Structure 1
């Protein structure tokens, strides 16, 4: 999946959660969801986050490769521990984690799949896959945008 779809998935998921609960600060939670949607691709130097942090991206890719460690439950667990120690705002911590989960789900819909159980070499992918940047991804991006607008409307009454 492309960066714009990962960002939109993080925004859509956190917007839906905010619309259904009063537990999080919407502006922090949704922004963190967008950022979290990008974090797993730090392993790819051509990604939005990889271009922003090229040295870190190169190091992570050299050590682990693409869609391995940073697309795993191990990475998600370690980042959870780090974030809960370093970030005092649960809206930010949880938003980032929600965004990361959406990233993993989306990348599991591609033919390449992900190494969810890293360091095990098992590739996880859904039975029906799509091509990154293809027509189905564009349809998904549109659907995520519509979902976001629908739930955002329930929050602030746009329409």
Structure 2
């Protein structure tokens, strides 16, 4: 999936998760966007890879694309680091929701992800699409609608 779809996926996931918590939806939304972009640090052409090119190239050289940074192992490491150093629960929850949304979206692509890294098994859904294709545009539109719905619900107390 492209960066814009991952961003919208992070927004949707974090706002949906905010429905089940008392966490601040604004914090969760921002953290969800960052969490949704982080797994692509292994790709130098990604939004986060372009911001941190040396780190991105190093991670890609060591692990490759859609391996370690797209795995449950990486998710657990990030969750452990967040629990150790970040006291804000909304920030942690939003960040992890964004990461999970990234994994789910990439499992819907033909290349899939190495979810169980270091095992070499690729995980993908039975029906997949090509990154940047027409189906991704449909997924993007559905995520946009869902983000408006969850956003309205999350922020209705401000109205």
SS in 2 for 1:37: helix
1:17 pairs with 2:42: no
* RMSD of aligned alpha carbons: 1.5
Q: Which stretches of structure 1, 4 residues or longer, exceed 3 Å deviation after superposition?
A: 155-158
Residue equivalent to 1:98: 97
Counterparts of 2:22 and 2:59, CA distance in 1: 34
Counterparts of 1:48 and 1:125, CA distance in 2: 23
SS in 2 for 1:145: helix
Task: Give the TM-score normalised by structure 1.
Answer: 0.95
1:59 pairs with 2:54: no
1:27 deviates by 0.9
Return 5+ residue gaps in structure 1 as ranges: none
Aligned residue runs from structure 1 range 132-143, under 5 A: 132-143=131-142
Aligned residue runs from structure 1 range 10-159, under 5 A: 10-18=10-18, 20-157=19-156
The change in CA–CA distance for 1:148 and 1:60 in structure 2 (over 3 A counts) is: same
Counterparts of 2:152 and 2:121, CA distance in 1: 41
Return 5+ residue gaps in structure 2 as ranges: none
Q: What do the CA deviations read for 1:42-99 (whole angstroms, capped 9, x no partner)?
A: 0000000000110110110010000000000000001111111111111111111110
Say if 2:109 and 2:128, in contact at 8 Å, map to a contact too: yes
